[in-house]
Structure 1
C-alpha cells in the first residue's frame, strides 16, 4: 500500500502563503518532514491562489519539492492544463496524476497524457454533473473512466479509482457511501487500484482525529491500494502500522516495531 503525505496543499493557509511567497525553506522543510514521518509519496497542490496561474505555481512547487526529497509525487489539480504544465518539469519516478473525472473534456486531455507518460492516474467517481450521492451512481462514473482508460492504452494497474470521501458533518451517511462504493469497485474492477483521501471525512467534527483514524482503519480493512493522509499525525500513523500488523501484512511485526522504536508513534497512541 502507498502512503501519501497530504500536507503540501494550498488549501492549508500556511502552505498557500508559502507558495505565494515562493518560500523555498518552508516548502523544503515540510516535504522533508513528511518523508521522515513515513510518507512514500507526496501530494502537491497549488490550487486556489487567487490571481495567480495555477500551472506556474504548481510547476514551482514541483521543482522545489524535487530538490528537497527523492520520493515520487502526486501532481494534484482539478485543472488539466495546470497538470500539463507541471509534468514538463517532473523528473522523479512513479508519477501519479490527480485527477481525471468521467467528464469528456477531462478524459480527452488527461488520458492521452497518462498513456504517453506511462504514469499513474487517479480517477474521481464524478462527472460534470457532480458527485453521485449513492454507490451505484459513483460506480457508473468509475465504469466510464475504466472503459476510456483502457481504450487510451492505460494499464489497469496504473489507474487508481477514488470513491470520493465526503464529510460526515454534512452527510451522516457519507462514510458508508464511500466504503460501499469502494467494495463495489473492488468487485467490479479487481485489476484496477483504489485511492482514498482520509482527511476529508471529518471536516467540522469534534475530535476530528478520532474520526479520521477510525475511518482509516475501516478503509484499510477494504484493501485500499493508496491512502492520502496527514503523516505528521503520530496517532494516525500508529493506527496505520497497527492495521498492517492485524491484516498479516507486516512480517514478524518488524515495520511496527521499527516505527515504534523510531518514535513515530505518539506517547498516548497505545493508551
Structure 2
C-alpha cells in the first residue's frame, strides 16, 4: 500500500496554529513520525488564504525536507500555487491534484514531463463529482490521455474515484469498489487512491466503518491511500487484509509490522 501521510494539513486546527506561529519543530515532528510509521509520501497542504498560500507552502516544504527524506505530496486546490512552489522541492514526489476541472491538467502535467513525479487524479470536472461509473471512467481516460502527451505513463498516476459518504449514498462502498475494479481493468498499472475516511462522514463509530471500508477497497484493487500512518488500527487492517488475500508470503510483512510496533496494541 502506498501511504500518503495526511497529518500536515492546515485544515487540522493544531496544524493551522503551528503554521500561523511558524512552529517548525511541530511540523518537523509530524513529518518524522509519519515517516517512521511507514508513509510513502508526506502530504503538505497549507489551506491558508490565497494570498498567503505560496509563501506558506514554500515554508512547509523547506521544513519537511529538512526533517525527512520522504518524498513530498504537494497539495493545493490551486494549480498555480503548486506551479509556483514546484521548483523548491528537492526531489520528485507527488502532485495533489489534477482533474477535469478548469485548467488543472494544462498547468500541472507539463511540470511532470521528463522526470518521475507522480500525480493524484480526481474523477471530477466542472460539473462536480459525478455519481455514475461511465462519467468517472470518461474523466479518467481524458486525464490519462492528456498525461500521455507529456510522457507520463499510467503507473505514475493515482486515480481517486472520490468515495461518497455512506450516510448520503447507501451504495457508496459498492459503487467505489466497482469504480476501482473498472479503472484497474482499463489501466492495470495505474494506482487507485482515496481518502477512505470520507465514507463514514456523519455516522457514529467512524473508525469501524473506515477500517472495514479499507479492507473492501484493497480487495477491489485500491493500492494507495491518503491517511494517517500513525493510526495503528488502520495500519493493522491494511497488513491483515493483504495477508488474508494471500499477498503476504508466510505473513512476513504482517509479522514484521507487529515487531516494528506499526500494528497491534500500543506498546506491543
With structure 2 as the length reference, what TM-score do the two structures score? 0.93
Q: Please state how far the C-alpha of 1:27 moved relative to its aligned partner.
A: 0.6
Matched ranges for 1:1-271 at <5 A: 1-47=1-47, 49-50=48-49, 52-92=51-91, 94-103=92-101, 105-267=103-265
Q: Does the 8 Å contact 1:199/1:230 carry over to 2?
A: no
Task: Quote the Cα distance in structure 2 between the aligned partners of 1:17 and 1:116.
Answer: 38
Q: Does the 8 Å contact 1:56/1:85 carry over to 2?
A: no
Runs of 4+ in 1 over 4 A off after TM superposition: none
Deviations 1:199-236 (A, max 9, x none): 22222221111111011111111222311211111111
Deviations 1:224-251 (A, max 9, x none): 2311211111111111111121223323
Q: Please state how far the C-alpha of 1:39 moved relative to its aligned partner.
A: 1.5
Q: Please state how far the C-alpha of 1:106 moved relative to its aligned partner.
A: 1.2
Deviations 1:158-177 (A, max 9, x none): 12211112222233332222
Segment drifting more, 51-60 vs 134-143: 51-60
3-state SS of paired residue (2:193)? strand
Q: Does the 8 Å contact 1:100/1:124 carry over to 2?
A: yes
Q: Please state how far the C-alpha of 1:143 moved relative to its aligned partner.
A: 1.4
Task: Quote the Cα distance in structure 1 between the aligned partners of 2:30 and 2:18.
Answer: 11
Q: Does the 8 Å contact 1:100/1:123 carry over to 2?
A: yes
Task: Quote the Cα distance in structure 2 between the aligned partners of 1:116 and 1:58.
Answer: 24
3-state SS of paired residue (1:171)? coil
Deviations 1:57-108 (A, max 9, x none): 111111111111111111111110111122111113x411111111351111
3-state SS of paired residue (2:258)? helix
With structure 1 as the length reference, what TM-score do the two structures score? 0.92
In the alignment, structure 2 segments of 5+ residues that lack a partner are: none
Deviations 1:133-157 (A, max 9, x none): 1222211111111111112321221
Q: Does the 8 Å contact 2:5/2:228 carry over to 1?
A: yes
Task: Quote the Cα distance in structure 2 between the aligned partners of 1:41 and 1:121.
Answer: 12
In the alignment, structure 1 segments of 5+ residues that lack a partner are: none
3-state SS of paired residue (2:104)? helix
Task: Quote the Cα distance in structure 1 between the aligned partners of 2:49 and 2:12.
Answer: 14
